[in-house]
Amino acid sequence: MTAGDLLQGGGPGPTGGRFSTMRTPAGAVPVDAPWWNRQRRSQMPSHRYTNVFDRVDVPLVDRDWPTRRLTAPPLWVPVDLRDGNQALAEPMDPERKRRFFELMVAMGYKEIEVGYPSASQTDYSFVRLLAESDLAPPDVTVVVFTPARRDLIERTVEAIRGVRNKVVIHMYTATAPTWRQTVLGHDRASLLDLILRGAGDVMSLAGDLDNVRFEFSPEVYNLTEPDYVLDVCNAVTTLWDATLDRPVILNLPATVEVATPNVYADQIEYTHKNLSRRESVILSVHPHNDRGTGIACAELAVLAGAQRVEGCILGNGERTGNVDLAVLALNLHAQGVDPMVDFSDIDEIRRTVEYCNRLETHPRHPYAGDLVHTAFSGTHQDAIKKGFAEHRARAQRTGLPEAELEWRVPYLPIDPADLGRNYDAVIRVNSQSGKGGIAYLFETEYGCSLPRRLQIDLARHVQAHTDATGAEVSAHDVMTIFEHAYLGNVPETIELVTLESVTHGNTTTGTRVTLRIHGAEVHGAFRGVGQVEAIIALLAEHDIPLDVVSLHQTSLATGSDSDALTLVEFRVGGRTRWVAGRSRSVLTATANAAIRAACTIADEITPRTRSLQSVGVTKAGPP
Ligand SMILES: [Zn+2]
């Protein structure tokens, strides 16, 4: 592609071009804008939206959360089977629900929201399945979800009859002003009445069940007045008689994310510090991801006092999803904190979640995407390659297993092996890649480390290929390019006929060599030199100057076996070039490489030597 090709697409700007539907900002540059920022006012109708500070009061002034650290995981509560499931175009069938539940149990989750039994028969039946089978291990707490309506609470309590596990009945009501006015038609006082009637029904219907505890969510907590949140929550914990032995879960959802994460953290810390019966309350959060900051909200909320986090594995949920429990857990892992759930087979987790949700995972999804442990760029590849070499060397030096060793490989936040991935995809080669990545592919696939100057040379060949095709190359493609460049056909001007050592008793005294140059056989016997030197000497006698700069003997893994590979760097016409020889035996590989180099020279050097044959090369005796 040339610069001309790039320009042909038409430039940006209001005067035509490709994007005729767009309204390139053409308003004023703000008067206070610095000279290095020429952004113009746009026609986006941003004035239609109100900033969060005008929508809700955030009274916290002394913040503790900014100086805290995450040192332990919260109680994780996956809500995939309820909140996540409600967001699916095709909700999970019983088989999918069961598979997902078994996955969560296998991963080690101890509190799982299993459904909304008053809303769907599938959910109701699933809770009955838990009551009537041993699908849920005894130490797993089962959460069921219900609105604050007596008939629905009755149905919910009916669903959990006979469940031997600990059960949490989770009641929710939206409390934010817009919801009160527009959706529910209640003022603060009458909505509080409604909530307390529901809480009273929960208490009277299930309060005497020893295995049951209660959870309340003021839905849209993040847009609800902080003092009203406290009024409602305190009234509920009083009615439910929250105690240390039977704590109440207060779950504070960012039902629709509306603010930067620091605002949510302030809200959580304010509630945390001002709730009554705080020690008998398990403070929980339930972030969604509308602004793409669900993860940050959850992490800062834990700093601010939250003890429990509800979310979905890989972040399914209404709109942009619930906060992603996989990312939260692995973020802790990457900081040296045990997440207390297992992610050692991320691809099995991902397959199961994708099967149940019928949703695909983005290739760049943190930790789980196909591309997240892959580097295409040359500089990253070089660094990763060096990082792996250092890792291996340190393992050898310290005698520690590689999988136990402190991780320091650049550009890879965690060892893909922790997640059950191998290193196959770590380095992939395209037109952005450099010699490091190419050499890495060669090394991992064929067990062969190439000399640095050959890496540079090979990278040129690969680059020419990727520039021409625009496509990614595999290790196999790199090998094809390698073979073409260094093992490819050259005019067979020179052939090796025989090559043998001359021995005296047990001692090798020299080498005898026969070559066919332009069809004519020439012989030489050389005392005290090895085979390559003998070939070079005989070629020199016939005006073919093979000037070897370096010679590397290595091997190439071919399935269960390996071939000898000799790499020869030689000088021709004032520059250096590379050829290779490949064979079962090291000697043959080396001789082949030397002859291939000689053919290249013979093919390129002056007509004077091209006319060797006419000069009459018939005989060359030993010195
Ligand atoms: Zn939700």
pLDDT in tens, 247-257: 999 999 999 99
Q: How far is the CA of 253 from the centre of ligand 1 (A)?
A: 7
Integer Cα distance of 40 and 43 in angstroms: 10
Residue 1: is its pLDDT beyond 50?
no
Q: What is the pLDDT of residue 618?
A: 36
Per residue in 12-45, pLDDT tens?
445 557 899 999 999 999 999 999 999 999 999 9
Q: How far is the CA of 507 from the centre of ligand 1 (A)?
A: 84
Residue 559: is its pLDDT beyond 90?
no
The residue among 2 and 587 whose pLDDT is bigger is: 587
What DSSP string runs through 235-258? HHHHHTT--SSSPEEEEEEESS--
Q: How far is the CA of 305 from the centre of ligand 1 (A)?
A: 20
Residue 2: is its pLDDT beyond 90?
no
Q: How far is the CA of 60 from the centre of ligand 1 (A)?
A: 25
Q: What is the pLDDT of residue 530?
A: 85
The phi, psi pair for 571, rounded to 5°, reads -105, 135
Q: What is the pLDDT of residue 11?
A: 44
Q: How far is the CA of 236 from the centre of ligand 1 (A)?
A: 20
Q: How far is the CA of 288 from the centre of ligand 1 (A)?
A: 6
Q: How far is the CA of 432 from the centre of ligand 1 (A)?
A: 41
Q: What is the pLDDT of residue 423?
A: 83
Identify the structural domains of the chain with CATH numbers, from first to last.
74-357 (3.20.20.70), 378-486 (1.10.287.1400), 494-615 (3.30.160.270)
Of 218, 233, 230, nearest in space to 176 by CA:
218
Q: How far is the CA of 548 from the centre of ligand 1 (A)?
A: 70
Residue 132: is its pLDDT beyond 90?
yes
Q: What is the pLDDT of residue 418?
A: 96
Q: How far is the CA of 325 from the centre of ligand 1 (A)?
A: 13
Q: How far is the CA of 424 from the centre of ligand 1 (A)?
A: 37
Residue 619: is its pLDDT beyond 50?
no
Mean of pLDDT values over 430-439: 84
Mean of pLDDT values over 485-506: 87
Q: How far is the CA of 126 from the centre of ligand 1 (A)?
A: 20
Q: How far is the CA of 212 from the centre of ligand 1 (A)?
A: 22
Mean of pLDDT values over 366-378: 91
Q: How far is the CA of 220 from the centre of ligand 1 (A)?
A: 9
Q: How far is the CA of 515 from the centre of ligand 1 (A)?
A: 81
Q: How far is the CA of 67 from the centre of ligand 1 (A)?
A: 28
Of 340, 356, 345, nearest in space to 75 by CA:
340
Q: How far is the CA of 59 from the centre of ligand 1 (A)?
A: 25
Q: How far is the CA of 211 from the centre of ligand 1 (A)?
A: 25
CA dihedral 411, 416, 422, 423 (to 10 degrees): 10
Residue 607: is its pLDDT beyond 60?
no
Q: What is the pLDDT of residue 375?
A: 87
Mean of pLDDT values over 496-507: 87
Q: How far is the CA of 92 from the centre of ligand 1 (A)?
A: 17
Q: How far is the CA of 256 from the centre of ligand 1 (A)?
A: 8
- Position 100 confidence tier, pLDDT thresholds 50, 70, 90: very high
The most confident of the ranges 290-304, 501-515, 603-617 is 290-304
Q: What is the pLDDT of residue 117?
A: 97
Q: From residue 242, give the alpha-carbon distance in Å to each of 76, 164, 215, 280.
A: 21, 22, 10, 5
Residue 610: is its pLDDT beyond 70?
no
Is residue 272 helix, strand or coil? helix
Cβ proximity of 620 and 523 under 8 Å: yes
Percentage of residues of the chain with pLDDT beyond 70: 94
Integer Cα distance of 207 and 215 in angstroms: 13
Q: What is the pLDDT of residue 427?
A: 81
Q: How far is the CA of 206 from the centre of ligand 1 (A)?
A: 24
Q: What is the pLDDT of residue 574?
A: 78
Mean of pLDDT values over 419-439: 84
Q: How far is the CA of 63 from the centre of ligand 1 (A)?
A: 27
Q: What is the mean pLDDT of the chain?
A: 91
Q: From residue 115, give the alpha-carbon distance in Å to each of 82, 179, 359, 412, 423.
A: 4, 24, 19, 37, 39
Q: Which has the minimum average pLDDT: 74-78, 320-324, 509-513?
A: 509-513
Cβ proximity of 100 and 353 under 8 Å: yes
Is residue 309 helix, strand or coil? strand
Q: How far is the CA of 322 from the centre of ligand 1 (A)?
A: 6
Q: How far is the CA of 184 from the centre of ligand 1 (A)?
A: 18
Mean of pLDDT values over 476-499: 90
Integer Cα distance of 367 and 73 in angstroms: 18
Q: What is the pLDDT of residue 622?
A: 40
CA 378 vs. chain centroid, Å, equals 18
- Position 491 confidence tier, pLDDT thresholds 50, 70, 90: confident
Q: How far is the CA of 286 from the centre of ligand 1 (A)?
A: 6
Q: How far is the CA of 106 from the centre of ligand 1 (A)?
A: 24
Q: What is the pLDDT of residue 432?
A: 83
Q: Which has the minimum average pLDDT: 146-155, 291-300, 460-469?
A: 460-469
Residue 539: is its pLDDT beyond 80?
yes
